[in-house]
Structure 1
Amino acid sequence: METKLSMEIAKRFHILEDFRKGYLKPEKTANILGVTRQHIYRLKKKVEDMGIEGLIHGNRGKPSPRRIEEETEEMIKTFYQEQYQGFNISHFTEKLNEEEGIEISREKVRQILLESGLYERRNHPVHRTWRDPMCKEGMMLQYDTSDHDFLEGRGPRLYLIGGIDDATNEVPFAQFFLKDGTIENMIVLKGIFERKGFPLSIYLDRDSKFITTRRGGLHVELKDGVYEKKTQIARALEELGIKMIYAGSPQAKGRIERLWGTFQDRLVSELRHEKIDEMNVANEYLLNIYLPSHNKKFSKEPKVSETAWRKIPEGIKLENILCMKDKRKVKGDSTISYKGKWYKILPTKTRYGFIKAEVEVQEHINGSLHIFYKGEELPTVLIEKRERDDENFRQEQLSEKEILYQIS
């Protein structure tokens, strides 16, 4: 039977012939025909096997491709309006392919949403020339906080604290908090170190949590000139042998700034899609579902396969380093004060008293308090403030002598 060829089929045939002969590249051919790159190769094989007849659908008696296409477009519009409102084009296309079973190109989805008025064109960011990434994973961790309404009013405004490996774009750990304080940042750093080890350096901004930004008072000590007292985080990272590099501007932290842009888009959409409105639930979703998927999609292989992450040495207890540390001098009644509370230091088997000794107070990230003297943790008890010259103090001194006699 003689086949009547439409102008459209003839046009497609000539374009595919140019592609087969190498005159057109796959991407260009796909754009002209409005199909995916994979489908171009299927059409090429049909032409090679059957010639122009391979482009004739031959589906008489079945719904036309145009009708099927219209039904699919309506489904896509419905999905976007009812389940994926606010998703960007790429993210929405991934959801259609992975979760809704609709295989379609990003450009086709973009066309459908733009023509229906469901999506507005976004301005492209100004292009900047970024420095080359590090060659090994673990050489540099870019670290920052994103202050954003991640729950879009369904719950409290949250801070997202985390880091990204400069070489691989992997996000080893991140967590939501109600505030962006020293303890919160120590919790995240501990989470990163427990999962990956220690990086050689951390690249961060000049926030007062990381570097002393004020002068005078407690922030500066005079010793052979002006000496700036380290922040708690700077002191902890120095103890761990991690170099701190301070960025001069937000643009200098390019990778993590782009990461936060992705999270403020994709993660916000996912939290909305899952109807999450609590911080604890958001953290569970972030750690167990979102981050593994994000890292699989966006991380890359480093230029050099050897890792620069350093394992945590045996004997190192992160809770004794990533904590708030301060010095106190023991008073005559064996007590110290810390944050308005009084603690009595009890005798040990090796020493009866610690009067006038300088001890180290550690406030751990779990809220517990620990007092050390030359690396040894001391037994303590929380008490009411006592006066040295009252009867209770004299009775305590006698009791302490009895304790010393019993343990000697």
Structure 2
Amino acid sequence: MSNKELHRLPVIQAVIEKRLRRRDAASQLDLTERQVQRLMNRYRESGAVGLTNARRGQPGTHRIDDALHCQILTLLRENYVGFGPTLAVEKLQERHGIAVSVETLRCWMIADGLWIPHARRQPRIYQPRQRRDCLGELIQIDGSHHDWFEGRAPKCCLLVYIDDATGRLMHLRFCQSESAFDYMMATRNYIDKHGKPVAFYSDKHAVFRVSQAETRRTGMTQFGRALHDLNIDLICA
């Protein structure tokens, strides 16, 4: 019996023994008098067992049929390997006319090994990159958008050139946006002052890397072509 049912037992016994009025019992148990009368009748027929939930341990009334459960898992294994629960629900509804909640499908996929929750996934292990040995050999470049002038001028972008070997700031340039033209101007100023590096190390911004996946291997951006002409490698993190 649950704690709630154990709490009901002495109250119902007191009503049956006429030590407590049915109205007062209903108030204590937060029930109606009719519900208290039903509990009294069940107690007289079956004793304390009559106060327990009769449906405990039985399948729920909204439980999905086992055959449909197996059909859904079979469709997921054959057609949607690697799909997350949300996308899988959309495909089941769109292509097969099967409606199921995301959370229900998530529980099924976890139990069947088709989906691993993010909390249980092993963290990715990245091989640490060793710093270069010489000053000016590899230069890290990036842009940072910020209110650099604290409201005294419009927000802008700061282009930063950092030496990989020493972590020293080599060159800075304020500009309106992180564009290819501004990177070219900043790079020209850097080369005039420090000479050519072996390579630049950047993120995957559209200035450095072609956005279209089909031409990413062979295509080059304007900034990439300029570095290629200068015989400077570009490494995208």
Q: Settle same-fold status: TM greater than 0.5.
A: no
Q: Per chain length, whose mean CA-contact separation is higher, i.e. which structure has more relative contact order (CA < 8 Å, sep 6+)? A: 1
Question: Radius of gyration: which is bigger?
Answer: 2
Please, what TM-score do these two structures have when normalized by structure 1?
A: 0.26
Please, what TM-score do these two structures have when normalized by structure 2?
A: 0.44
